[in-house]
């Protein structure tokens, strides 16, 4: 029997009841400048982006700024997530046949899974790395609502070296390059929150330093800034891989869609920063 990776954070990060979840996602999409879901204006040049992964009440509207730009015709998604607990293998593909959310199941692209595993020696298929991790899972209901059916390649990343980020980014870029030639529409997404548990003022300042490097498409400078300034950006490694892939593809445009923090929703002294960024040809 094919293995299904069950939803791990339904009922905490997002609603566990399907209709409530649909309504919440639609509310988030309607809050974006692009208007309601039915009036969205997809961006044909979009090839990737950065999105947050907190509870929907806090980061959902920010993430919706990116998801509202996705074309309905996108066929598969390469999703780079954080392994917050460093459980299992440090750079893990999913061996499951599909992932489940309250909105149904999403099929894993096993052919592409195998291709990436063969191309990148430090990638391994590992259930443990994905079992209780939320950074990839919370993106799926948005993708299901916007795209309908698509196939998924989830990659859970703990610590990998700069050289390994370059290698993985190049492998992803090679896939997207071939997909563009064949007419297959694929998008790559990095899942990351920004500064954690700082004052709103500190959050805006430090997030701005990190986002400057993201918008410059400069992964080496991003990692250096995160380390130098002690920026608690949990997805700096997935974001660096995304940017290395963008560099390999020759992308030259990054657009900040939205930057905010949890205190914008509920006033609080210590907040978490969020951003959505679109990468275009």
Instruction: Summarize pLDDT for 156-201 with one digit per residue, the tens.
Output: 999 999 999 999 999 999 999 999 999 999 999 999 999 999 999 9
Q: How confident is the model at residue 37 (pLDDT cuts 50, 70, 90)?
A: very low
Which pTM was predicted? Answer: 0.96
pLDDT tens column, 205-247? 999 999 999 999 999 999 999 999 999 999 999 999 999 999 9
Quote the number of domains for the chain.
1
Assigned domain for 62 exists = yes
Domain of 107, in residue numbers: 4-36+45-149+171-280
Cα distances (angstroms) measured from residue 143 to each of 32, 193, 204, 258, 260: 16, 18, 28, 18, 21
Assigned domain for 162 exists = no
Q: What share of the chain is helix, strand, coil (3-state, %, to 5)?
A: 40, 25, 35
Q: Are 103 and 17 in contact (CB under 8 A)?
A: no
User: CATH number of the domain that 247 lies in?
Assistant: 3.40.830.10
46-51 and 4-5 beta bridge pairing: unpaired
Average pLDDT over residues 30-56: 79
How far is residue 278's CA from residue 50's CA, in Å, rounded to a whole number? 7
Assigned domain for 275 exists = yes
């Amino acid at each position: 029997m094919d293995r299904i990776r069950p939803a791990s954070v339904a009922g905490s990060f997002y609603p566990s009841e399907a209709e409530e979840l649909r309504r919440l996602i639609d509310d988030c999409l309607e809050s974006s400048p692009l208007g309601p879901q039915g009036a969205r204006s997809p961006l044909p040049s979009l090839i990737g982006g950065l999105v947050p992964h907190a509870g929907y009440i806090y980061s959902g509207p920010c993430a919706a700024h990116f998801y509202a730009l996705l074309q309905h015709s996108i066929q598969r998604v390469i999703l780079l997530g954080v392994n917050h607990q460093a459980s299992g293998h440090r750079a893990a593909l999913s061996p499951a046949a599909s992932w489940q959310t309250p909105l149904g199941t999403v099929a894993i692209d096993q052919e592409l899974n195998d291709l990436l595993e063969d191309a990148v020696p430090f990638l391994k298929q590992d259930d443990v790395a994905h079992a209780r991790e939320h950074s990839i899972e919370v993106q799926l209901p948005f993708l299901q609502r916007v795209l309908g059916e698509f196939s998924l390649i989830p990659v859970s990343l703990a610590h990998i070296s700069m050289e390994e980020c370059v290698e993985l980014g190049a492998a992803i870029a090679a896939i997207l390059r071939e997909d563009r030639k064949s007419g297959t529409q694929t998008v790559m997404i990095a899942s990351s929150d920004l500064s954690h548990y700082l004052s709103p003022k500190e959050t805006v300042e430090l997030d701005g330093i990190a986002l400057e490097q993201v918008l410059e498409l400069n992964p080496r400078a991003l990692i250096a800034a995160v380390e130098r300034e002690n920026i608690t950006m949990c997805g700096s490694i997935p974001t660096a891989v995304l940017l290395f892939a963008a560099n390999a593809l020759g992308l030259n445009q990054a657009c900040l869609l939205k930057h905010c923090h949890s205190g914008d929703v509920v006033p609080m002294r210590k907040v978490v920063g969020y951003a959505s960024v679109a990468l275009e040809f």
